[in-house]
Amino acid sequence: MSYWKDKNVFITGCTGLLGSHLSEQLVECGANVVGLVRDYVPRSRIFFNAELQRKMVVVRGNVEDYHLLERAINEYEIDTVFHLAAQTIVGIANKNPLSTFESNIRGTWNILEACRRNTGVKRIIVASSDKAYGDQENLPYSEETPLQGKHPYDVSKSCSDLIAHAYYHTYGLPVCITRCGNFYGPGDLNFNRLVPGTIRSALRGDAPVIRSDGTFIRDYFYVKDGAEAYMFLAQKMDELPIHGEAFNFSTELQITVIELVRKILSLMNSNLEPVVKNEAGNEIKHQYLSTEKARHVLGWKPRYSLDQALLETIDWYARQLT
């Protein structure tokens, strides 16, 4: 906790699932948190928590606005940046690729350029994704796996990842990249995602809907573990020669969509059966990560088991939605 006390931290995407948990943890650790907020989302954990709001500075705007980013970083004397803002939903990216590219690609070069022009910024974490690796024959993904997204969201994350590398190799910018699995946990309001959508359906007594055939394999990563991993990596940037490097973070569980849905239903003591629509398109079938590098180089490991994390998540939605 003493590491973060009085550090000036800028978080893009602070109202999102990971951003809200990261903001909360950093505030608890004594950091001066400045959050970039595009839209007012009443049920976001940021806006829902009046005490947290009082302890943060909120900058209104979006990552496509370069001058706003430069002003915020300079005016609040930022030393640490967590760039999380992105359009993160695969289906939306397929329907509207241009806004996804604007947010995910332009937003990344804007934040990196604003940091490059301010020598006070000492550490930058750029959130990439396991989807930046694209569809690969050899799994699990390691950090040496080529970045070769083919669909709009995947391409946007491959590009933002490579842009971060370029800013390190060309300008020596103190940046690291994270590639994580699918985040889930308390506060996720995107109910077209599997975990919150399944929980909400079960609470309403409706059969959960699976868009794919149910056999897709994904990495599911608890958001509290994710927030701690981001903070841990930023701190390690002061201790280890890791600038310019990428790190995978996950629990390394290989689980199919239908297995996860049935586990959630079992934990909720529900007899519902999922409806398998088998209509998902332009999505990678199997994705899962190796975290060997994070374990060996950083000494990192997750704290939560799948069942423990799901029970906490179910409890949060049960309190919020019933």
Q: Are 288 and 219 in contact (CB under 8 A)?
A: yes
Catalytic residue list contains 76: no
Q: How far apart are the C-alpha atoms of 62 and 110, rounded to whole Å?
A: 10
Q: Which two tokens stand for residue 257?
A: 């969509």
Partners of 127 in the β-ladder: 178
Q: Which two tokens stand for residue 304?
A: 């939560």
> Which single residue is written with the structure tokens 């919020």?
320
Give Cβ neighbours of residue 266 (< 8 Å, ≥ 6 apart): none
Q: Are 274 and 258 in contact (CB under 8 A)?
A: yes
Catalytic residue among 153, 288, 304, 317: 153
Tell me the three state secondary structure of residue 123.
strand
The total of other beta-carbon atoms located within 10 Å of residue 299's CB is 10
Q: Are 81 and 8 in contact (CB under 8 A)?
A: no
**C-alpha torsion sign, points 279, 135, 222, 30:** negative
Q: What is the DSSP letter of 206?
A: P
Helices 194-204 and 306-321, interaxial angle, to 10°? 50
List Cα–Cα distances, 190 to 92, 200, 202, 244, in angstroms: 11, 11, 16, 31
Catalytic residues, by residue number, are: 153
